[in-house]
Amino acid sequence: MARFALKIEYDGVPFSGWQRQNDVPSVQGAVEDALAKLEKRDHKIAAAGRTDAGVHALGQVAHCDMEKPWDPFRLSEALNYHLKPSPVAIVACVQVDDEWHARFSAVERRYLFRLVCRRAPLVLEAGKVWQVSQLLDGEAMQAGADRLLGRHDFTTFRSSICQANSPLRTLDELRVEQVARRDGALEFNFHVRARSFLHNQVRSFVGTLERVGVGAWTPDDVSAALEAKDRSKCGPVCPPQGLYLADVTYPNAPFA
């Protein structure tokens, strides 16, 4: 057996999420089905993170084990052929050591969340961003985001069905970037970076910060919510569209 690392891009709209489930489409299922076209057996791949329904990826990473001595480029080309017409693409493929693991070898994960302030419906980006009609205060949102940096008990900002053993996480970056758009609308990109995340943590952050941006919350309210360690004190959880798993970092940068 030879192990290969796959960097994967996908549109999460038509999928029930990353994880394979019975009777519903998943990204994992699409990739495993494509692998079965190349080597006719059951395949089980592991990923750096399990994205929810409707969440996209620019740089999801998974690994697979193959019996034949595949050239990495040929393997990626063959997978992309069999993945059609699903909106999933293998953008890089490298052979790695047998001990390398897409999830457990990762040392950092980066997410991007796109929020657009525009009253007119978004046609070309439907399902790819979170659209709100009101204008937001980017400086206030950044001030609120700064209250969340560092190591904390993030009970307030994790799903009630989160399966993580501990709510303690270290948030290394939560940066609010204002982006100029050709349509004249205001876009905010939330750049979020940590070693690992809790279930719905990023969407809980963005939904809460949107309340700060519209003036319903203050940065002090964000601090109070964090200190409460109480899920009911979280702001509204924003919808999945707009969330992207942007990148996963590993020692020795296998895709460099």
Instruction: Name the phi and psi angles at 225, rounded to 5.
Output: -65, -45
Environment class of residue 92 by beta-carbon count within 10 Å: exposed (0-12), middle (13-18) or buried (19+)? Answer: middle
* Pick from 187, 200, 189: nearest CA to 58: 189
* Pick from 169, 183, 192, 52: nearest CA to 114: 192
- Out of 52, 65, 153, 221, pick the active-site residue: 52
Q: DSSP secondary structure string, 110-163?
A: EEEEEEEE-SS--STTTTTSEEESS---HHHHHHHHHTT-EEEE-GGGS-TT--
| 52 assigned to active site | yes
Cis peptide bond prior to 121, omega within 30° of 0 = no
The residues that are catalytic are 52
